[in-house]
Structure 1
Amino acid sequence: MQRHVSIQVSGRVDLPLDGPPVLACGADLKSVFCVTRGRQAILSPPIGDLSEYASCQFYREAVDELLRRLQIQPAIVAHDLHPDYESTRFAKTFPAGRKIAVQHHHAHVAACMAEHGLAGPVIGVALDGSGYGPDGTVWGGEFLVADYAGYRRVGHFKPYRLPGGEGAIRHPPRMALSWLAEECGERADALGAQWLPAIPPDHRKTLLGLIASGAHSPWTSSAGRLFDAVSALLGLCDKISHEGQAAMRLQAAADRRESEALPVELEDRAGVVVLSFGPALRALLEQREAGVGIPILAARFHRAVAAAVAAVCGRLRDREGLARVVLSGGVFQNDLLLDWLTDALSAGGFEVYSHHQVSPTDAGLALGQAAVALAAATEH
């Protein structure tokens, strides 16, 4: 379908910050860009996946069209930290005076803060599929102490190997096998044969070799990949045809009446809280072997994530003295998790903020990038 350059603004958000005009380039998936004028952020409509040539061309034309229509010349261009994003490449070639790279999960948290007009600092919980970490790993299960000017990574999900890189995103059993290899050691091959029949025996051994060596298998703390792994282990999804499919099936399978949670473990590593779902994995397999139904296990996993995230926030409140929690990232499209986590945090005395105006997915990222860039301009 041919797209026209003429576009409609999809939304406007009043910002708690003022400053020079900013063009925030967003992300490559669910691409939305943002332009600021004074204390107002103006968001483009969703453009699509910038890995597709037509979407990429339309993105460039849409930026030019919106800037022309609004008669804005950006002084700052904000973009994701990932060097290989098309949106990053576009930002670096855009003729503006200052370029600001914004870490993916900081932008997620800042977007929700901006939507609610919050000043920091807050405890930011950013759960999504992936985002470029400054340590070179793939982030996605993050706890940040953040304001617009900066952030500290104070906690994260335990990282696992992503065997075959992006191929593991399309094939959830690969992530499940990585989880088995890390948490069950030598039993991983036999457990993989039992619970992950979609992986042929020869391929399973190849993948275990990649996981052991780390070849083509970056570390990831992704919450999204964790949901993929559980979905695969419960036989709900072997192959992804659209983003979030495995997690959606896991959510749909869950019995909302179930109140029990699978066990988790919190560990303090040099002042950073690491949240491990290894005990949850082992309990999940034991309970499935004992005949516990998939709806119950799916619900107990959701309960585990909600309880564990709330527990980490409790530990961070004791350490940092913060009682406001901001929830962002694509995993929070899962209304079951969002409801149970919000209830747990509220019961613990936290003020909880989640998205209502913009999406928690990468479609909301540009708003956060813009807010971070404005804070940087004020400091500068």
Structure 2
Amino acid sequence: MTIINLPFIMKSPVLALGANSKNRICFAKGSKAYLSNMHENLDNIDDLSEFEKSAKSALSRKPKIIACDLHSGYLSSRYADEISEGNLLKKPIQHHHAHIASCMAENQFKNEYVIGVAFDGTGLGVDGNIWGAEFLFCNYANFQRLIRLEYIPLLGSEKAITEPARLAYLWLYLIYKDRFLDIKINLTQALKPKKWAVFKKMYSSGFNSPKASSMGRLFDAVASIVLGKQKAEFEADLAIQLQRLAEKSSDVQAAYKFSFVKQPPLFVIDPRDIFKGVVKDTTSGLPAGYIANRFHYTIASIILEGAEKIRKIKKANKVVLSGGVFQNSLLLRMTLELLYKKGFKVYTHKALSPNDSSIALGQAVIANFKE
């Protein structure tokens, strides 16, 4: 169990049930939040059983509010439906708002507005799409989504996570159309015409291809090109390999070109020029470590530019970083260096991880302030 001291008194006791993987539940009362041990994956029957034991133990402490993820398909959210009867009020909480709120609580924020950067693989957004590259202007009670990554269909849904090449192929198709098949890189040369025809049909029909604005999936797609690999052994496998490759190179302090496109009421990050740069460097025979390192610096530069845009609009100077992508120590270091140079105050997790294991803390504190 982990105990977090809160900088405020909870209005009512809250039981927050966390995410579906890397699950921890949180019971918050008074000025303390108590986080359970990890339940790695609730789709695993043993983990689900331990989760239910933890939740029942917390229920004996008489919470008044049940907080859960906005995603109704999460087993933790379904459990919230089962137990939120009678005097228990259920409050679904948006995934990335919870990420930022968890880091805010850990850093003793009361209820002030911050620039929240939440980068991860998957989290349901309020528009029904998958989010994961989010710039929020938020406090505990509210959030505005001001910047996001361009949506891209995940061809085959979960298959796009285990076969990141699907994402790479689609980005290259969006840039070069079918001419991408002639690009002399390992990834395109390994693609069979019949397989591409299937992917192309999935894209045109939209079948089983939910839209995602996920930084985790962007890392996957670039890693697939740089490494020349089609499949991953587990989620973020290729992204982790890309980080290790980048760490072997000296820092390349020159970002690939990228753009922020105004699509009111927000800005959208267009990564096409990043892919063009990666392809150019790859076909030019530049070392893979150089390309990987340059890509990391590019994402750190995107974070800086996004934070500067929000600072200009909202007059805010405190940046809170959360989400599983920030487990990437190279990206985190580069991001901190750039933000500090521009005078931002930056807050990261301390006792907790930025991944979904800290989500329940964010759910609990948001539930305390959210009407």
Where does residue 157 of structure 2 map in the other structure? 165
Taking the TM superposition and a 5 Å limit, the aligned residue runs for 1:227-242 are 227-235=219-227, 237-242=229-234
Please point out which of 242, 251, 260 is paired with 1:257. Answer: 251
Taking the TM superposition and a 5 Å limit, the aligned residue runs for 1:30-109 are 30-68=22-60, 72-94=61-83, 95=85, 96-109=87-100
Q: Does 1:179 align with 2:202?
A: no
* Cα distance in structure 1, aligned partners of 2:270 and 2:58: 45
* Cα distance in structure 1, aligned partners of 2:303 and 2:30: 36
* SS state at 1:30 partner: strand
Residues 38/236 of structure 1: CA separation in 2 closer, same or farther (3 Å cut): farther
Deviation per CA, 1:125-175: give whole Å up to 9, x if none.
000001001111110000111100010110101111111101000111011
* SS state at 1:287 partner: helix
* Cα distance in structure 1, aligned partners of 2:180 and 2:343: 41
Is the CA contact (8 Å cut-off) linking 2:185 and 2:228 kept in structure 1?
no
* Cα distance in structure 1, aligned partners of 2:228 and 2:350: 30
* Cα distance in structure 2, aligned partners of 1:316 and 1:34: 31
Taking the TM superposition and a 5 Å limit, the aligned residue runs for 1:227-376 are 227-235=219-227, 237-254=229-246, 255-376=249-370
Deviation per CA, 1:66-125: give whole Å up to 9, x if none.
444xxx111000000001010000011114520000000000010000100113200100
* Cα distance in structure 2, aligned partners of 1:147 and 1:172: 34
* Cα distance in structure 2, aligned partners of 1:313 and 1:23: 33
* Cα distance in structure 2, aligned partners of 1:116 and 1:236: 40
Q: Which stretch of structure 1 is more off in the superposition, 199-208 or 114-123?
A: 199-208
Deviation at 1:194, TM superposition (A): 5.2
Where does residue 115 of structure 2 map in the other structure? 123
Q: Supply the AA of the counterpart residue of 1:75.
A: K
* Cα distance in structure 1, aligned partners of 2:62 and 2:258: 50
Matched residues, number = 365
* Cα distance in structure 1, aligned partners of 2:228 and 2:104: 35
Is the CA contact (8 Å cut-off) linking 1:236 and 1:246 kept in structure 2?
no
* Cα distance in structure 1, aligned partners of 2:5 and 2:160: 39
Normalized against structure 2, the TM-score is what? 0.95
Is the CA contact (8 Å cut-off) linking 1:173 and 1:198 kept in structure 2?
no
Deviation per CA, 1:308-363: give whole Å up to 9, x if none.
11001101110111111100000000010001011111111110111111110000
Deviation at 1:250, TM superposition (A): 0.5
Q: Supply the AA of the counterpart residue of 1:263.
A: K
Normalized against structure 1, the TM-score is what? 0.92
* SS state at 1:36 partner: strand
Deviation per CA, 1:160-191: give whole Å up to 9, x if none.
11111010001110111121122222323434
Q: Supply the AA of the counterpart residue of 1:98.
A: L
Deviation at 1:38, TM superposition (A): 0.7
Deviation at 1:298, TM superposition (A): 0.3
* SS state at 1:224 partner: helix
* SS state at 1:48 partner: strand
* SS state at 1:163 partner: coil
Please point out which of 140, 143, 155 is paired with 1:148. Answer: 140
* SS state at 1:65 partner: helix
* Cα distance in structure 2, aligned partners of 1:196 and 1:355: 39
* Cα distance in structure 2, aligned partners of 1:374 and 1:16: 13
Q: Supply the AA of the counterpart residue of 2:107.
A: H
Is the CA contact (8 Å cut-off) linking 2:114 and 2:316 kept in structure 1?
yes
* Cα distance in structure 1, aligned partners of 2:170 and 2:90: 38
Please point out which of 100, 104, 121 is paired with 1:113. Answer: 104
Is the CA contact (8 Å cut-off) linking 1:47 and 1:58 kept in structure 2?
yes
- Structure 2 unaligned spans of 5+: none
* Cα distance in structure 2, aligned partners of 1:186 and 1:240: 25
Deviation at 1:53, TM superposition (A): 1.6
Residues 192/13 of structure 1: CA separation in 2 closer, same or farther (3 Å cut): farther
- Structure 1 unaligned spans of 5+: 1-8
Q: Supply the AA of the counterpart residue of 2:297.
A: R
* SS state at 2:40 partner: coil
Please point out which of 213, 218, 226 is paired with 1:226. Answer: 218
Deviation at 1:197, TM superposition (A): 4.6
Is the CA contact (8 Å cut-off) linking 1:196 and 1:232 kept in structure 2?
no
Deviation at 1:199, TM superposition (A): 4.1
Deviation at 1:256, TM superposition (A): 3.5
What is the alpha-carbon root mean square deviation over aligned residues? 1.6
Residues 36/198 of structure 1: CA separation in 2 closer, same or farther (3 Å cut): farther
Is the CA contact (8 Å cut-off) linking 1:332 and 1:338 kept in structure 2?
yes
